[in-house]
Structure 1
Amino acid sequence: MTPDPTPAPPTAEILYRNEVFQTGLMAQLLDGIYDGDMRIGELLSHGGHGVGTFNGLDGELVVLDGNAYHMRSDGSVQKADLSAHTPYAVITNFVPTIVRDLPPSLLRHAASQVLDELTISKNYMYALKIVGTFAWVRTRTVQKQTRPYRPMVEATADEEIVQFDDVHGTIVGFRTPLFEQGISVPGCHAHFVDDSRTRGGHVIDFKLREAHVEICPGTDLRLHLPLTPEFSAADLSPEDLAEQIRKAEKS
């Protein structure tokens, strides 16, 4: 009998099409283009779950449950100014199709392997949320840059690590396919914010106590590029693109 060449349909993991909206490019940040033309208020019209940064690399952005927060290099968090601008952010309407408890005591690397097992394909985008109690979370957050801007690998080289112990909170992130390198951050790009929405940052590592994960597939990507002279002149295809991303993300 001749095998059926028709590929198997996706499982119940993907029940619908879901758009991921992105403004700016990771390659743009690597080239030191830190100013964009999209306001945070406009960004929120595209979803309620996201990560990014602010103009001038002025800290990290996390969007959780429709609210935008501004995270500073000292680990503090406050509500974001909706009139502020972002050069780079990724956001979506978060409707999870996978919800699973995670094994206790997982470190970030082991948790990533578990997430690989929960998703059917490396060729889709996935928005994710890990909610629970953490033994510790290590974060870092970029400091505001001044002109002339340094390349991102230099701007992030002296960042301090901030650790939060015995904390309950949420990791907000995206898992992105390798083919999006330069557009976004291949692999997992995640930010943490505690339940009080007063502490957080870009996730470096963590150890779980008790938590669950929610995963929302993204099938469509809508890309918004800045209309600025700096973006037009940027070098978006350096030969060492992958290495620059690894250094900037501390991965």
Structure 2
Amino acid sequence: MKHSVTDCMCEQQLASTVSALRQHKPESVIYQTSLMSALLSGVYDGTTTVADLLRKGDFGLGTFNQLDGELIAFDKEVYQLRSDGSATSADPQQKTPFAVMTFFNPQYRHVLNGPASREAVHQIINEQVTSDNQFCALRIDGLFSSAQTRTVPCQHRPYRSMPEVLGQQPTFHFTDRRGVVIGFRTPQYMQGINVAGYHEHFITDNRQGGGHLLDYQLEEGVLTFGEISKLVIDLPNDSDFLKADLNPENLDSAIRSVES
């Protein structure tokens, strides 16, 4: 696909905007490509590459073209979590229809020396970042007695909507595994643009398994997190996106059903 001079200028302007915001308050910008409502409607092909994402952040999550598995990024590395439960390093030229990235610079650190549920971990964050109107990026490095995940299988045109696809999603249960959780807490007013509430992905310490988290039980670990108050969104301009219904009546319930 050829890119016009205008496309190149827009890309340069977007990169400059992200860079300028980071200089104003370092590591405080979320970059997002496309919208969750577009993904929900079956817009599964994008033009943003993994290499592009790593220019916008070193930490994040999303998916790959054709909804081919989950994306997790941290420490400047991007992994593809496939529908067989496996994980592999993503190729720099792989593309994504939806991803959320930031340069992770947490302001808070909490050591958990005993068992904690997912809800308990979230409560720690909520007690520190008290405004529901702020984004929050989080990471957990630890031992998980249980981690329940799901990963969407690769799709083919004509694409079905995401709720239809996830009715056939494979799920996995990791037990007594060390690994990394990365995620975001997103304000409710962003539902449809992003995923409101907590959205987290998991990968094992050997980087060979993981997925989108449904639930987990932490035995011990380190939680780091911080608030973010700036968001930059790169909207597609292809026909799939322009024709998609981005504001269906059941948007909130549909997103909750596919993410929980």
* TM-score, scaled relative to structure 2: 0.88
The residue number in structure 1 matching 2:193 is 183
SS at match of 1:109: helix
1:52–1:90 Cα contact (<8 Å) kept: yes
In structure 2, distance between residues paired with 1:177 and 1:138: 24
Match of 2:156 among 146, 153, 159: 146
Task: Decide which of 216, 219, 231 is 1:221's aligned counterpart.
Answer: 231
- Greater shift in the superposed pair: 109-118 or 34-43: 109-118
Please give the per-residue CA displacement for 1:160-179, whole angstroms capped at 9, x wherever unaligned.
22011111111010100001
Residue aligning to 2:141: 131
Q: Within 5 Å, which residues of 2 pair with 1:142-221?
A: 142-221=152-231
Which aligned pairs between 1:224-243 and structure 2 lie closer than 5 A? 224-243=234-253
> Runs of 5+ in structure 2 lacking a partner?
1-23
Q: Is the Cα contact below 8 Å between 1:39 and 1:84 reproduced in 2? A: yes
Q: In structure 2, which of residues 115, 123, 127 is the aligned counterpart of residue 105 of structure 1? A: 115
Structure 1 counterpart of 2:76, from 48, 59, 66: 66
Aligned length: 236
One-letter code of the match for 2:184? F
Paired residues of 1:21 and 1:222 also in contact (CA < 8 A): yes
Structure 1 counterpart SS, 2:52? helix
Find the counterpart in structure 2 of residue 95 from structure 1: 105
Q: Does 1:55 align with 2:65?
A: yes
| Helix, strand or coil at the partner of 2:125 | helix
d(CA) in 2 for partners of 1:103 and 1:121?
27
Could you tell me which amino acid in structure 2 is paired with residue 36 of structure 1? G
Q: Which amino acid is 2:46 matched to?
A: G
Task: Describe the superposition over 1:205-226 as per-residue Cα deviations: whole angstroms up to 9, x where unpaired.
Answer: 1111101211122111000011
Change (3 A) 1:98 1:158: same
- Percent of aligned positions that are identical: 42
Deviation at 1:103, TM superposition (A): 5.8
Q: Secondary structure at the match of 1:165?
A: strand
Tell me, in whole angstroms, the C-alpha distance in 1 between the residues paired with 2:119 and 2:109.
19
TM-score normalised over the length of structure 1: 0.91
Q: Is the 8 A contact 1:73 1:143 kept in 2?
A: yes
CA RMSD of aligned residues (A): 1.3
Q: How many Å separate the matches in 2 of 1:116 and 1:77?
A: 30
Contact (CA 8 Å) 1:37, 1:227: kept in 2 or not? Answer: no
CA distance in 1 between partners of 2:172 and 2:148 (Å): 6
SS of residue in 2 equivalent to 1:156: helix
Question: In the alignment, does 2:114 pair up with 1:119?
Answer: no
Equivalent position amino acid for 1:203 in 2: L
Q: Match of 2:177, SS?
A: strand
Q: Secondary structure at the match of 2:168?
A: coil
Amino acid at match of 2:190: E
SS of 1:104 mapped into structure 2: coil
